[in-house]
Amino acid sequence: MNYLKLVVGVLFIVLNSNSIVLAQKSSFEEFEAKVKAAAGEIEKYQRVLQNPDVRIQYQAVQFMLKSRDPALQRIAKEHALFSTNPVLRNSSIKAILDAGGNIRLQITSIGEASADVFRWLAQEGGSHDGRTGSLIFKIGPARENCWIHYNDYCRFQLSGTDVLFRNHGSSSNSAQASLKLGNDGVLRGIIFSGRNGKAGKAQLSIDLKE
């Protein structure tokens, strides 16, 4: 009787193990098929982005940026921002700002002159350690090449591949910067902010791929 129980037990383990192996194999095959299908879909979008007609590339970027798929959004951003075509680069900045959402300002100290900039940063709700800091702004409604904030003032204004940033307010909470788009998809420039007629300054960067 004990021998029979042992045999039955062994058979149960073997059969159960085989079932697990088959289930895992089936699960992996399904996973592999989904990965290949997804990769095929991404390749279709990439082919459209490689179309020699810049107008088609622009429209593709617009549609992809409005997609709810983060992967498609990132592919579109990187394609347009890394393009050598200034028209497409300009269009990519406009499309990113038109899409709304939040944008992060990264500030880096250049010495004692940056104290007023960090003071402004803290007043606006940002954080810093005296060397670097960051602040998130919500992109406002679009008005031609201008994206507004309170009192209908332009916070971001686009000209070619340059972006003028302005935070309007009193002398203690105003700031501005002229930013140029680099080949890595990052806007960079010097931000000025100050009080009592003395403007502090620091390095400002905005990574448009985020």
pLDDT of residue 17: 55
In this predicted structure, the answer to whether residue 65 has a pLDDT above a threshold of 50 is yes
Residue-wise pLDDT tens digits, 73-129 = 888 888 888 888 888 888 889 888 888 889 999 999 999 889 989 999 998 899 999
pLDDT of residue 169: 67
Across the range 123-147, mean pLDDT stands at: 90
Mean pLDDT lowest among 1-10, 37-46, 54-63, 188-197: 1-10
Residue-wise pLDDT tens digits, 191-201 = 998 765 467 89
In this predicted structure, the answer to whether residue 165 has a pLDDT above a threshold of 80 is yes
- Highest mean pLDDT: which range of 39-48, 53-62, 71-80, 118-127: 118-127
In this predicted structure, the answer to whether residue 50 has a pLDDT above a threshold of 70 is yes
CA dihedral of residues 164, 153, 207, 192 (deg, nearest 10): 60
pLDDT of residue 4: 43
In this predicted structure, the answer to whether residue 1 has a pLDDT above a threshold of 60 is no
- Give the integer Cα–Cα distance in Å for 59 and 47: 13
pLDDT of residue 7: 39
**pLDDT bracket for residue 26 (50, 70, 90):** low
* pTM of this structure: 0.73
CB 65 within 8 A of CB 210: no
In this predicted structure, the answer to whether residue 202 has a pLDDT above a threshold of 70 is yes
